[in-house]
Structure 1
Amino acid sequence: MNSTAGPPAWIRALRIAFGVFGIVALVWIPIENIGVAGYSEANYFSYFTIQSNIVGVVVLLVGGLRAPISRGWQLFRGAGTLYLVITGIIYALLLSNIDVQLGEHWTNTALHRVMPIVVLADWLLVPAAIKLSARLIGIWLIYPVLYGVYTLVRGPIVDWYPYPFIDPRHQGYLEMSWKLALMVVFFAILAAAVVALNGFLARFWRESRTHTS
């Protein structure tokens, strides 16, 4: 497939369908908790899972409704893919047995498993052939780093942290810091993998068209 020619209609339709699915999953918990004592919308939207899924929904809906082909948009697609891949992997490795306050089982599955797989599949099915570089990885990692800063600044103010690995109250700042540093390195490796896989498939589709033409 060729991203410069635009994706086929069936991919655009699936993007829209899963984008709407993502919206439903995102708004389900706030709607369900209207008027519930102790529920905090600010805390809900402070989860990396929620923020990354919002980006994923934007990627899918814009990609389905307009299907832009500019380099800037492809970079945004790649960033959204990375953030949802981070969400899916971190959940599977560190959070699957921990209550992350996402309510019903289906919303938890939708936001931690389904949406990361869908956005990654879209990224690989419609490759953008973005060149891998340290600068690109650095740009993509700005948001996760800023999210960490936001969480650590907000945490003491509201006495709440979204994830145990970024909560210094029980592990201390030193132990938490080296864990977070390792996570940033891991995220950089994931970013490189996201770009490399995309480039590999872009070459594969291009060579396939050459051989069949």
Structure 2
Amino acid sequence: MLGLTAAVVFIALALQFYLSLRLAEANGKTLGYGVVLYLGFFTITTNFLVLFASASPLIAPASSMGRFFVRPVAIGWVAASIAFVSVAYFLLLRHVWKPQGLQLIADVLLHYVVPLLYVLFSFIALRGTRLRWASPFRWSLYPLIYFVYAMIRGAMINAYPYGFIDASVLGYATTLRNAVFLLIAFLVLAYLLILLWRVGAKPISQSDKTLL
């Protein structure tokens, strides 16, 4: 499962990178602008997270990264993050544009196929696992850091990756409110996944310890 996920996410990221560069060139922008555009999206950064999480245990299992991404808490973090990408895109963004051709393929891979593959892997790896109830708050640091990055980047280049956090149009108060709602949604999704992963867990004995 991890090998398939790594292959699919690599192809999806490479295809979207090519399309971003081509779009920049078509709009008279530099290739550097295309790279900046590419790296501005939560979808891209999270798919890179999935790439590291799926490839490193296979390629370098003894490395610090390889050991980290097989930990239950790391699998849960990555699964919650990529699931959030898929759910948020389906509910908020799929009606905003109509991708065609190669862009449609990249769109489907990044927002649906990769999330499905990694979340399915998480249900196999974490079935019956009791993760700490505080874990989603730790995982939420990732979207919080991304939000800060998106705000700084947007202020510097006057371009925001998503309309619902476009401070130049909405103002910072509305943007912050939207970010809070999205953070709450992330936490709700993460807790739902934790409950589903716990299905089949054995009753806790005195010697059991909650997984970190």
> TM-score scaled to structure 1, two decimals?
0.79
Counterpart CA distance in 1 for 2:109 and 2:69 is 29
What is aligned with 1:41? 35
* Alignment partner of 1:54 is 2:52: no
Contact 1:100 1:162 survives alignment (8 Å): no
**Separation in 1 of the partners of 2:181 and 2:104?**
30
Tell me whether 97-106 or 45-54 shows the greater mean CA deviation.
Answer: 97-106
CA contact (8 A) 2:77 2:136 kept: no
| Superposed CA offset, 1:78-103 (max 9, x none) | 11101101100000000002249896
User: What residue in structure 2 maps to residue 139 of structure 1?
Assistant: 138
Residue in 2 that maps onto 1:153 = 152
Q: How many residues matched?
A: 190
Give the distance between the partners of 1:64 and 1:200, measured in 2 at CA. Answer: 27
Which residue type is aligned with residue 52 of structure 1? T
Alpha-carbon RMSD across the aligned residues, in angstroms, is 2.7
Identity of aligned residues (%): 21
Deviation string, structure 1 residues 111-149 (Cα, Å, up to 9, x no partner): 001111111111012216142322x12110001001001
1:162 CA drift (Å): 0.5
Structure 1 residues 173, 27: closer, same or farther in 2, change over 3 A? Answer: same
Structure 1 runs not aligned, ≥5 long: 1-13, 205-213
How many angstroms does 1:69 deviate by? 7.6
Question: Of Structure 1 and Structure 2, which has the larger fraction of its residues in helix?
Answer: 1
Over 3 Å counting, the alpha-carbon distance change for 1:71 and 1:121 in structure 2 is: closer
SS in 1 for 2:132: coil
Per the normalisation by structure 2, the TM-score is 0.79
Q: Which runs of structure 2 are paired with 1:187-206 in the superposition (5 Å)?
A: 187-203=186-202
What is residue 87 of structure 1 aligned with on the other side? 85
Kindly state the Cα deviation for residue 70 of structure 1 after the two structures are TM-superposed.
7.0
Provide structure 2 residue ranges, at least 5 long, that are not aligned to the other structure.
Answer: 204-212
